[in-house]
Amino acid sequence: MATQSLRNPNRRPTHPGAVLREDVLPALKMTQKDFADWIGVSRLSVSELVNEKRTVTPDMAMRLGKALGNGPQIWLRMQQTFDLWELAQRDTYHSIKTLELV
């Protein structure tokens, strides 16, 4: 049974860095540097993530999930949803025809 998302498929998904910038860091009352120190990465890594110039890697997902107590999967799913939507906007894949199995 396929599950359907409540998210509008025409709307760009939220980048996980935006969630950190808009929701997580303000709720924690932490600076990017303090958060970077907490999870053991450079301030630049967090800065690039919250400014949507860096993706959430499995390593970063583990760090975020551990620090925030919500596990790495949510961060990887957010990143995957964002990446796939971005790719679907390109003309690159429109010429690929679906194979029919007999």
Contact 60, 45 (CB under 8 A): yes
Q: State in Å, rounded, how far the first CA of the chain is from the last one.
A: 23
For the entire predicted model, the pTM comes to 0.85
Q: What is the pLDDT of residue 58?
A: 98
**Does residue 49 lie within any of the structural domains?**
yes
Alpha-carbon gap, residue 102 to 70, rounded angstroms: 44
CA distance 80 to 91: 19
Instruction: Specify the pLDDT at position 6.
Output: 59
Residue 29 within any structural domain of the chain: yes
Q: Which residues of the chain have pLDDT under 70?
A: 1-7
Q: What is the pLDDT, as a whole number, of residue 10?
A: 83
In a domain, 92, yes or no: no
Total structural domains within the chain: 1
Residue 101 lies in a domain: no
Task: HSE, CB side, 13 Å, CA atoms: give it for residue 101.
Answer: 0
Would 65 be classed as within a structural domain?
yes
Residue 96 within any structural domain of the chain = no
Give me the domain span that covers residue 40.
16-83
Question: What pLDDT, on the 0 to 100 scale, is given for residue 1?
Answer: 45
Q: Please report, for the domain that includes residue 51, its CATH number.
A: 1.10.260.40
